[in-house]
A and B are shown apart, each in its own frame.
Chain A
Amino acid sequence: MKLNRRIFLGATAVSLAAPMVNAGGHGKPRVVVVGGGAGGATAARYIAKDSKGEIDVTLIEPSRTYYTCFFSNLYLGGFKTIDDIGHTYGNLASNHGVNVVHDWAVGVDRGQKTVTLAGGASVPYDKLILSPGIDFVEGSVPGWDLSAQNAMPHAYKAGSQTELLKAQIAAMPEGGTYVMVAPPNPYRCPPGPYERVSMVAHQLKANNPTAKIIIADPKPKFSKQGLFEEGWQNHYGGMIERIGPDFGGENVTVDPGAMTVNIDGEVIQADVCNVIPAMKAGRIAELAGVTDGSWAPVNAIDMSTKADPDVHVLGDASQQGDMPKSGFSANSQAKVCANAVRGALTGSRVFPAKFSNTCWSLIDTNDGVKVGATYEATDEKIAKIDGFVSQTGEDAALRKATYEESEGWYSGITADMFS
């Protein structure tokens, strides 16, 4: 049956005349969502909530407790506890009827339209939404692979890795050295590595003020650079040294056994080494055959993949255009996707795609900054319309209000995902 091959490019605020109800001969249309983060949890919640039982929604997520990557740096800095950033899926099931399955998705058969789980089950879908986040590109930092993640944590998927990194920072010897190997573009959360450095510096300033932080960075510039560098100067003068590509910051190898980092020939003995490798779409996107290179190209209008109109990819794993890879972006994309998927399956109204993003970062206590933009769908990509960024030299009251705003946002987005 090809009834579900409907593409609704250009559909704006119209009802589809022939919704795909009963496709495949079963009862309710079925949506399967893989990945319960900012993209997947939001999509599952909105489709289930807004379809009021008309669509059968299954969310596949291996973790029972999900730790948000956003605000995990604030945990490293001591501003949040690990429990503050942990969330469970009970409300999605009880409030909205989402069928939450805690298992790994290990395969997708796009011909049969089924998802295979590690436990052996096969889950059929009419529309599949993949929101698997990121995996790391093997060999991108020579000497490092996943087997080295205990010696040199990435802490770029929140949870036990973040706890490990925090424990290692606390155990640094007096005057010790923290090395961050920063990732090349594109990667999850553009300000993330630099907010992390700020939070590590905040900890060290209080507990180990003679310690040093070295960043080996393959990128000539980075998000909110002026704001971070101003803040580092003001709060942590002299503690942080960044080695950019002009000084060999892209030429890095590590030895996790010896805890050394070789930056363009110079060998540094590290007490903590936080390796954030190059990134690619979470593996299930690749297994589903919807990636092209590292990421999954999508149509901006509904986040459906270029490879298959019935498979959508959200968030970090997607290659969509101008939006940064962030939790806010994934949440924004999920709502556009949910509206389109629901329209295709039940004939509900499909409205124009609108996207937005704001990323807040904390530099030190009550010193918050932000960057954001709005976006629209064009034929080629998600295209930026307008944006803003905090300014250097802002007064302390504004920075404090910005931080408080970020806490309000965290409360808002996690309610929007999990309540």
Chain B
Amino acid sequence: MMRVLIALWLAMVAMSAAGAEQLGDPKEGQRVFKSQCSSCHMVGEGSRNRIGPHLNGVVGRAVASLDGVKYSKSLRRLGAEGLEWRLNTLDAYIADPKVFARGTRMNYRGLKNEEQRSDLLAYLQTYSANTVKMVQTNAPQEGTADVTMEEQGYSVAPDILAIVGDVEYGAYLASECLTCHKMDGTGDGIPSITNWPADDFVLAMHAYKDKVRPHPVMQMMAGRLNDEEIAALAAYFETLGN
């Protein structure tokens, strides 16, 4: 039954994404990537898994197949069914992640604009192994990973990143976060913060504290946490759910 449903639904996905085969402009796609994707994903040389998996070679990659990434059950199930990320499946996923995989941990509302999706896919394709030729001819700024905050010159001192967080203190401090952010990692309107790599968590919180990231509630909450407290929270949320 499940297989029949998936097959049927893939057919629908394929139909709805028929236009995606005509790829858009990778330069435009890079802009879309920076504004929509890069706070969680890296692509290009030196990319690693951050809040989300790195996207080198994503076109053609089996769903939920990278080691060291905490995928949702929904995506793992699709991966186990043999689903691969191709242009049509990626197009459908990016258009509305929660329709594609209801329990996905990717907290993204979806990109409704078809042309922007097409541009984005063109950009991602340039970093996929089966399209090396395109990388050489079309890739904008080849070889640089896109990390929004780092590009803006935002970073924290290595000694701050090196602080080993006190997980028990983090659990207490986290109780304040859990009024809004859900422990089970789901969320609409309020993003998931569980299972983030500790460095990313520390970077994000300091960016709020320094008012580089723009949310008033988060600026206020982070503003009164010291370096040890941020490290404690990062340590706790990294382990949460494990």
A residues with a Cβ closer than 8 A to B are 13, 46, 50, 328, 331-332, 335, 339, 349, 351, 354, 356, 358, 370, 372-374, 376, 385-388, 401, 404-409, 411-413, 415-416, 419
In the complex, the answer to whether B175 meets A335 with C-beta atoms within 8 Å is: yes
Residues of B within 8 A of A374 (CB): 220-221, 223-224
The reply to whether A409 and B190 form a contact with Cβ atoms under 8 Å apart is yes
Tell me the residues in window 148-193 of chain B with beta carbons closer than 8 Å to chain A beta carbons.
168-169, 171-173, 175-176, 178-184, 187-190
Which chain A residue has the least Cβ–Cβ distance from B175?
A335
Does B68 have its Cβ within 8 Å of any Cβ on chain A? Answer: no
CA distance A407 to B223 in the complex (A): 24
A354 to B168, CA, bound (A): 15
Show 7 residue pairs from A and B whose CB-CB distance is below 8 angstroms, ordered by the A residue.
A351-B173, A354-B176, A356-B220, A356-B221, A374-B223, A404-B188, A413-B180
Selected from A351, A387, A406, A412, the residue in CB contact (under 8 A) with B181 is: A412
Contacts of B15 in A (CB 8 A): none
Number of interface residues of B (CB under 8 A): 25
Contact A386 B223 (CB under 8 A): yes
B4 touches A (CB below 8 Å): no
Query: Is B5 interfacial (CB-CB < 8 Å)?
Result: no
CA distance A385 to B180 in the complex (A): 20
In chain B between 202 and 231, which residues have their CB closer than 8 angstroms to a CB of chain A?
216-217, 219-221, 223-224
Residue of B nearest to A349 (CB): B168
Is the pair A411, B188 in contact by a Cβ cutoff of 8 Å?
yes
* CB nearest neighbor in A for B172: A351
| A358-B217 contact given A408-B180, A416-B179, CB 8 Å threshold | yes
With A354-B176, A386-B224 given, name 4 new contacts (CB 8 A): A404-B188, A408-B180, A415-B178, A415-B184
On whether the beta carbons of A332 and B176 are closer than 8 Å, the reply is yes
Nearest neighbor of B183 in chain A, beta-carbon distance: A415
Query: Contacts A354-B173, A413-B180; is A408 near B189 (CB within 8 Å)?
Result: yes
Q: Could you tell me if B190 and A408 are in contact, using CB atoms closer than 8 angstroms?
A: yes
Report if A387-B220 is in contact (Cβ < 8 Å); known contacts: A354-B176, A411-B182, A412-B181. Answer: yes
Residues of B within 8 A of A413 (CB): 179-180
Q: Is the CB of B216 within 8 A of A407?
A: no
Task: Provide the bound-state CA to CA distance between A407 and B181, in Å.
Answer: 11
How far does the Cβ of B75 sit from chain A's closest Cβ, in whole Å?
22
The distance from the CB of A66 to the nearest CB of chain B, in whole angstroms, is 17
